[in-house]
Structure 1
Amino acid sequence: MTPLRAPLARYAERLHRAAGDTHHVASPLGAWLLLALTGPAATGDARAALAEALGADPDDAAAEARALLAAPHPMVAAATALWERTPAAELAAWRATLPEATERGPLPEQAALDAWARERTGGLIDRFPVDVAPDTLLVLASALATRVSWADPFDTAPGTELGAGSAWSSRLRWVLRTPPFRHRCWLAATDRAGAVAVHAAPARTGDDGTGMLVVSVAAAREVPAADVLAAAQELAGAAALSPGNSLPGHLSLFDLPLGETPLWTLREEPVNTFAPGGREERATAVLPCWSASSRHDLTAPGFGFDAAARALGGLLGLTGPGFDAAQSAVARFGRYGFEAAAVTAFGMVAGLPPEGVARVAELRFGHPYAVVAVTTDPAGGPWHALPVYSAWVAEPEELPADEAG
């Protein structure tokens, strides 16, 4: 078991409890990773608060985050970025602890941040989750994105197959039915949610054998959403760690009464079987397509970003700096695959600087001009600063119509 699973499960429960039982999607991992990156800046009370929120020592959490971001999973595109209005020397030591691949630069306008969110999520998220204000000092952000196809696509079934007790059965004309192979369906016993129905859909694996398993868990209606989500976290982790046909927490169908419940219908039929004792178990599942788009406010103390603001503010000599923290997340589950993305952002603000005057120039290349392309190498190798191409531009062209606007 990865040491991150337990702290992440606690953080996930906190995040989902705040969202309640409304339709939503989140990436607890995206928020946890971003918070962990601030850990090395923390001392004193801020460090203790960060440790509580992260469920781990801040330096250990930062090391775990760096390791994950240095080698992202092939099915989870990952990016981080730090933008600063004016890089402060006091943050140099903390800045050096960020992952090597972290994008860095001056604080951009809101439109550029929105574009970053779109580009890093393959267009799944259209808007950056926090706004940049004139007093914003820095913004730290993470992006995670996934698009996978199922190893075996779902079949379809009439919506009525969800059962007469389902409010969705009369609203949906068609739903998904598990295909004959590779999907896992079972009933499981859980501590938090009681007996639950479980479906696990595997994504098509990559050439290196890596994959993704999307696990759906349904409990009795009266079980709180936070408890079902906690059970789902545990079952999903166990299913990913189990051999192909293993069913974590499996409840034998022969230990349950025949008949219909809101979660399953159980019948018995004669078969020819080599199953032990002549008792064979089979399970299929019907479930709907779904999509969700959510924005989560992460400024409450339990999420840890207040401590992150105190930690970074302390390095800058600021007492109680203002901050914003939020996550935008989307997901879509359908017949042929699954896609999801999350952008988490933390912005720290300070008082407005004194009034002054700025001169702003817009450079115009409106007559013939020169262009030179040179290679760069931070290691200073033989290619560094070497001109490779050069041009004199005397005949401009119209921007292609499909690129205008």
Structure 2
Amino acid sequence: MARYAKRFHAAAGEGHGVASPLGAWLLLALCGAAAGRRSGSAGRELAEALGMDPASAAAAATAMLADEHPVVLSATAVWGLPEDGTQSLRAWLAALPSSTETGPIPAQPDLDRWADDHTLGLINTFPVQVPAEAVLLMATALASRVSWRDPFDIVPAEELRAGSAWAGRLTRVLSSPVRGHHGFIVTTEEAGDVIVHVAEAKVEPGEPGLSVLSVAAAPEIPPATVLAAAHTLAVELHEAGPFGQWPPQTGHLPGRRSLYDLPLGEAPLWTITEEPALTYGREERYRSVLPCWSAESEHDLSREVFGFPAALRVLEPVIGASGLDLKAKQSAVARYSRYGFEAAAVTVLMAVTGLPPEGVVRSAELRFGHPYAVVAVATDERPAEQAPWHGVPVFSAWVSDPDDVPAEEAG
């Protein structure tokens, strides 16, 4: 999954923003259950994107979604497919996680409500507008809202030092307290020396939680490279042991630098000082200074690099369609503050039957600017013999003295 995250960010662009590569990976993995021996090149391309064979990815996704995480909420949906379809379609639907919502494609307001319900209210608009030609709609939602184990302290922004462009633009920034936060310096393969801050969510002892890593490298290192290093560190840190046992010994974390191996004084990313203290041996202490931030992003995932075109090619023979148009998109939001962190993402794969070629559209604006007739007619869509009211005019009017729109309705 970390491999896909690196691939995702390398293609997503370098501007300020947030994403959930996991949300996209889970959606691809759900498609992986449909990839059999006959998937051919599409199955191989999907495996390349997933970083493993599609069946293994599907099993991993199913295991994750079946084991509900207490602070990372998740939801999946596959809409638009008949439950009594072909054998391969029935087999794929049966292989989906039991929590996956299925059925007809909901109306747009219901899709917006689905996004809102499954993202703690952080995303209240479904990422795509769904046309009548849509034959398949798949979605994943991930959301989390946590409070820090210990809130940050507040310090003047000048503590970011003169080398930071933010020091003159911001007034106040965050400073890590002694407890519930961790900091260190690591040499990474991707980005060289980086500084790392880890803030932990407030959870009951022994309960699953959320740790948020902030990783900074030298300013000239490209964002995608720093993000790749951050994902590598996230995996390595959790392999080094629970954060409750921190700080891990230098030998337990590849590349971790001891402060006693670094020179005293100023460096672009840190300042190291030394003073006498009552302590056993040589103690290392860290304090991180970083800003609050928030972001909202929209990601078009329709390019081959994200894996969704290959996923649709795997699905087409299963759902009995071909030549479908793809739209894949992710909406993501996040906020990092003194007291906690919240984030959500909704990822969508939509397949649409081929739209007609480009032509000419002629439009008319109809203006009822002089007296006109109105007739109200009863309707009933049942068969004619069961619908005696159908087509019967009930009320009629001639409008020659119109009213203005009431002020309370003009908003």
| 1:165-215 Cα shifts (integer Å, max 9, x gaps) | 101011111100001113111111111111111101111123652111111
Q: Which residue does the alignment assign to 2:304? A: 301
Q: Which of 276, 289, 294 is equivalent to 1:270?
A: 276
Q: Which residue of 2 aligns with 1:12?
A: 5
Match of 1:105 in 2: 103
Query: What is aligned with 1:173?
Result: 171
Partner of 2:217: 219
Match of 1:203 among 170, 181, 201: 201
CA contact (8 A) 1:86 1:137 kept: no
Aligned residue identity for 1:137 = V
CA distance in 2, matches of 1:173, 1:103: 46
Aligned to 1:145: 143
**Residue 24 of structure 1: SS of its match in structure 2?**
coil
Residue identity opposite 1:147 in structure 2: R
Match of 1:46 among 42, 47, 55: 42
Gap regions ≥5 residues in structure 2:
357-378, 383-411
Distance 1:318 1:212 in 2: 41
Aligned partners of 1:162, 1:40: CA distance in 2, in Å?
A: 49
Match of 1:244 among 237, 246, 255: 246
Structure 2 CA distance for partners of 1:361 and 1:116, relative to 1, 3 Å: farther
Q: Secondary structure at the match of 2:95?
A: coil
Question: Per-residue deviation at 1:99?
Answer: 0.6
- SS of equivalent to 2:218: coil
Match of 2:19 in 1: 26
- Give, in whole Å, the separation in 2 of the partners of 1:113 and 1:37: 19
Q: Deviations over 1:26-51 (max 9, x none)?
A: 11111101100011222112111111
- Identity among equivalent pairs (%): 54
Give RMSD over aligned pairs.
2.0
How far apart are 1:131 and its partner, in Å? 2.0
**Letter of the structure 2 residue corresponding to residue 346 of structure 1:** L
Contact 1:163–1:262 (8 Å) recurs in 2 = no
Pair 1:259–1:85, CA change in 2 (3 A): same
Q: 2:73 aligns with which of 70, 77, 89?
A: 77
Structure 1 CA distance for aligned equivalents of residues 4 and 380 of structure 2: 45
Whether the 8 Å contact between 1:148 and 1:337 is mirrored in structure 2 is yes
**Which residue of 122, 126, 135 corresponds with 2:124?**
126
TM-score (normalizing by structure 2)? 0.81
Alignment deviations for residues 58-107 of structure 1 (CA, whole Å, 9 cap, x no partner): 11110110110011211111111111065560322211111111111211
Contact 1:309 1:322 in 2 (8 A): no
* Offset of residue 322 of structure 1: 0.9
The corresponding residue for 1:59 is: 55
TM-aligned CA deviation for residue 360 of structure 1? 7.6
Find the residue that maps to 1:209 and give its secondary structure.
coil
Per the alignment, residue 259 of structure 2 pairs with 253
Counterpart amino acid of residue 92 in structure 1: R
Q: Distance in 2 between matches of 1:103 and 1:174?
A: 45
Q: How far apart are the structure 2 equivalents of 1:321 and 1:44?
A: 18
Q: What is the alpha-carbon distance in structure 2 between the residues aligned to residue 283 and residue 251 of structure 1?
A: 12
Amino acid at match of 2:195: A
Q: Which residue identity is paired with 2:103? A: G
Pairing 1:337–2:340 present: yes
CA distance in 1, matches of 2:50, 2:340: 32
Residue of structure 2 equivalent to 1:189: 187
Q: Tell me which amino acid in the other structure corresponds to 2:247.
A: N
Counterpart secondary structure, 1:153: coil
Residue in 1 that maps onto 2:368: none
Report the Cα offset of residue 351 of structure 1: 3.6
> In the aligned structure 1, how far is the partner of 2:231 from the partner of 2:265?
29
The 2-side partners of 1:12 and 1:161 are apart by 32
CA distance in 2, matches of 1:54, 1:78: 19
Query: Which residue in the other structure is 2:329 paired with?
Result: 326
Return the alpha-carbon distance in structure 1 between the equivalents of residues 47 and 67 of structure 2.
Answer: 24
Distance 1:252 1:115 in 2: 50
The gaps in structure 1 that reach 5 residues or longer are 1-7, 354-358, 363-405
CA distance in 2, matches of 1:14, 1:360: 54
Q: Is the 8 A contact 1:130 1:346 kept in 2?
A: no
Q: Are the equivalent residues in 1 in contact too, given 2:323–2:354 (CA < 8 A)?
A: no
> Aligned in 2, Cα 1:286/1:58: closer, same or farther, shift over 3 Å?
same
**Could you tell me how far 1:128 is from its partner in structure 2?**
1.2
Shift of 1:352: 6.5
Query: Which position in structure 1 is the counterpart of 2:392?
Result: none
* Closer/same/farther in 2, CA of residues 51 and 166 from structure 1, 3 Å limit: same
For 1:163 and 1:10, how far apart are their aligned partners in 2?
35
Is the contact made by 2:148 and 2:180 (CA closer than 8 Å) also made in structure 1? no
Q: Which residue of 2 aligns with 1:388?
A: none
Which one has the largest radius of gyration? 2
1:235 Cα offset (Å): 1.5
The equivalent of 1:398 in structure 2 is none
Q: Is the 8 A contact 1:53 1:303 kept in 2?
A: yes
